[in-house]
Amino acid sequence: MALYKYDKWVKRSDHEAFDALHNPGATTPDSGVYRCENCGHEVVSEKGSPLPPQNHHQHTPGQGRIEWRLLVFARGK
């Protein structure tokens, strides 16, 4: 779970970018913190870079496949 200390720098958003699931190795659509939907593992990825590949971390059969979801969107002013 991503944590923060100062809420004046983090804002809630209903942007559709938070709804999409991304495959391992897919191009990162937005810079930020991504969370694996099925195991909770978190990574930081920059826009245009590939998300971590399938072999970045392993799932048990019960955890399902690796799917990345944007958790915290990093944007400039």
Predicted pLDDT at 2: 85
In the predicted model, is pLDDT for residue 18 greater than 80?
Answer: yes
Q: Which of 26, 21, 18, 28 is nearest to 72 (CA)?
A: 18
pLDDT at position 54, please? 81
- Give the pLDDT mean for 5-27: 94
pLDDT digits 0-9 by tens, 33-77: 999 999 999 999 999 999 998 878 888 888 888 999 999 998 876
